[in-house]
Amino acid sequence: MPHASPSPTPPSLPSLPSLPPSASGPSDASGADGAGPRRLPLPDADIRLWPGWVPPDEADRWFEGLLHETPWTQPSTRVYGRTVPVPRRLAWYGDAAYGYSGLAHVPQPWTPLLAEIRARIEAACGQPFNGLLVNLYRDGQDRMGWHSDDEPVLGRDPTIASLNLGGSRRFDLRRRGTHRIAHSVELDHGSLLVMAGGTQHHWQHQIARTARPSAPRINLTFRRIFAPAA
Ligand SMILES: O=C(O)CCC(=O)C(=O)O
Ligand SMILES: [Mn+2]
């Protein structure tokens, strides 16, 4: 897949702290195509969703390129004392190994395509990222359980930039210490979700299994790692 052709640059997110809160916005934060990011109406969180952040043609190119070039793995993890394979495929890119949910990810070198995407994400967020977890959800059975991205190597109040390509999936949020889904948004092809501030401290998120027909989906979460994992 060639990646050399010039492509239109999507608009940048204004720097995150300058965006006004939109607690009065619609609960699913959708309908903002072409209008910029929207802040989700959750207390103690700073989560912004930008549907259509990357134009569809380019999102298609990124999806196809990543689907075929990524060395997908399916590591095992410990769940309630049992070792089970994670219910999705994944790959870790970065400058250092990264421990996540009991998994030790061996980093792959950045590819030209991922370097291109990272540059665009960094320009949008106004900050550098040196780690990336790429997840492939092949169908509705593939999923990611409740968690916060709060590993110590991410530092306090990490900014996580999450790019969505391919099939749409529902992203659920609940307050830590509770079991009730407080908010859900649909993450569509080309959308960008940015979690910042105290979000990881106060909230958990998941991509639940679904019985609905679900096209393959690739999610990229860009992170900033402050120290190599032990
Ligand atoms: O697939 C998603 O949208 C969520 C991914 C995620 O939470 C993670 O990689 O930590
Ligand atoms: Mn996460």
Q: How far is the CA of 144 from the centre of ligand 1 (A)?
A: 7
Query: Using CA atoms, how far apart are residues 108 and 72, in angstroms rounded to an integer?
Result: 11
98 lines ligand 1 (CB under 6 A): no
Closest-approaching ligand to the CA atom of 148: 2
Instruction: Ligand 1, residue 205: give the atom nearest the CA.
Output: 7
The pTM for the full model equals 0.84
Q: Give the mean pLDDT of 60-67.
A: 98
Distance 135 CA to ligand 1 centre (A): 7
- Give distance in angstroms: CA of 92 to centre of ligand 2: 13
Residue 13 has pLDDT above 60, yes or no: no
- Segment holding 119, helix H or strand E: helix 112-125
Per-residue confidence band for 34, with pLDDT thresholds at 50, 70 and 90? low
pLDDT > 70 in the chain, percent: 79
Q: What is the pLDDT of residue 227?
A: 72
Average pLDDT score over residue span 100-119: 85
| CB-based contact 101:200 (threshold 8 Å) | no
Question: pLDDT by residue (tens digit) across 174-203?
Answer: 999 999 999 999 999 999 999 999 999 999
| Number of Cβ within a 10 Å radius of residue 103 | 16
Judge whether residue 53 has pLDDT over 70: yes
Ligand 1 within 6 A of CB of 199: no
User: Whose Cα sits closest to atom 8 in ligand 1?
Assistant: 221
CA distances for 64 relative to 31, 68, 76, 117, 142, angstroms: 26, 6, 26, 13, 19
Write out pLDDT tens, residues 113-123.
Answer: 999 999 999 99
